[in-house]
A and B are shown apart, each in its own frame.
Chain A
Amino acid sequence: GAGVSQTPSNKVTEKGKYVELRCDPISGHTALYWYRQSLGQGPEFLIYFQGTGAADDSGLPNDRFFAVRPEGSVSTLKIQRTERGDSAVYLCASSSTSSGTEAFFGQGTRLTVV
């Protein structure tokens, strides 16, 4: 596609459930980033992939959060045993190289845990 695509755009889930958020980066982009943005706050770094591997996962808040990128393109952010505090907009971005180039953002997935 022409840009970074995130699906679903909105997700409502019950507390304790498992959710998966998907990110389709721009074709050929090797770097992929996940961020979480709470209402009225700046985006918080979660994890960064370079190809298939997680180059930096220091932002994942706890072991309920996990992300994969098995073929170096699409990435899935997985959240187990969701909590109300996980409610936020989850943003994905991709860029063409490991550093020093513009990152393109998707529109985000708004996750609401009820």
Chain B
Amino acid sequence: GESVGLHLPTLSVQEGDNSIINCAYSNSASDYFIWYKQESGKGPQFIIDIRSNMDKRQGQRVTVLLNKTVKHLSLQIAATQPGDSAVYFCLIGGSQGNLIFGKGTKLSVKP
């Protein structure tokens, strides 16, 4: 199937450790941010989102942090598992409603 992540930065973590994946954006008018996970040969899957009026949101094992001052977004995954291995993308929502992908990161979890 399609192999995603050949040229993307890679983050390698040990199973059970926490992972932090970062995303920078450039448009200060961006108001909606989403993290997606993409496994090889599949379409992106929603993980968690956050709006610009928030700076932190938590889900199950995941936390998204938003720093609008420096236009930076991060995804924290607690107790990383082998099934978390995938490419992670941030998706940035513009004022017109379009959604633009940020640079992805390939997460590799070592058992």
Whether B3 and A40, one on each chain, are in contact in the complex, defined by CB atoms closer than 8 angstroms, is: yes
Whether A33 and B98, one on each chain, are in contact in the complex, defined by CB atoms closer than 8 angstroms, is: yes
Residue numbers in A under 8 Å from B95 (CB-CB): 99
Cβ of A107 < 8 Å from any Cβ of B? Answer: yes
* Size class of the contact patch on chain A: 20 to 34
Please name the residue on chain B nearest to A110 by beta carbon. Answer: B2
Q: Which of B4, B5, B97, B104 contacts A98 (CB 8 A)?
A: B97
Closest-CB distance, A78 to chain B (whole angstroms) = 20
Residue numbers in B under 8 Å from A4 (CB-CB): 43
Tell me which residues from 88 to 109 in chain A have a Cβ below 8 Å from any Cβ of chain B. Answer: 89, 91, 93, 95, 98-100, 102-108
Closest-CB distance, A71 to chain B (whole angstroms) = 19
Interface of B is mostly: loop
Whether B97 and A55, one on each chain, are in contact in the complex, defined by CB atoms closer than 8 angstroms, is: yes
**In the complex, A96 Cα to B20 Cα: how many Å?**
30
Cβ of A85 < 8 Å from any Cβ of B? Answer: no
Closest-CB distance, A93 to chain B (whole angstroms) = 7
Besides A45-B98, A100-B32, A105-B36, 17 more A-B contacts (Cβ < 8 Å) are: A37-B4, A39-B2, A39-B3, A39-B6, A40-B3, A40-B6, A40-B7, A42-B101, A45-B99, A48-B96, A55-B98, A56-B97, A100-B51, A103-B34, A103-B46, A105-B43, A105-B44
29 contacts between A and B (CB under 8 A): A33-B98, A33-B99, A35-B101, A37-B4, A39-B2, A40-B3, A40-B5, A40-B6, A42-B89, A43-B44, A43-B89, A45-B98, A45-B99, A55-B97, A56-B96, A56-B97, A89-B2, A91-B44, A93-B99, A99-B32, A99-B95, A99-B96, A99-B97, A100-B51, A100-B93, A102-B49, A103-B46, A104-B46, A106-B43
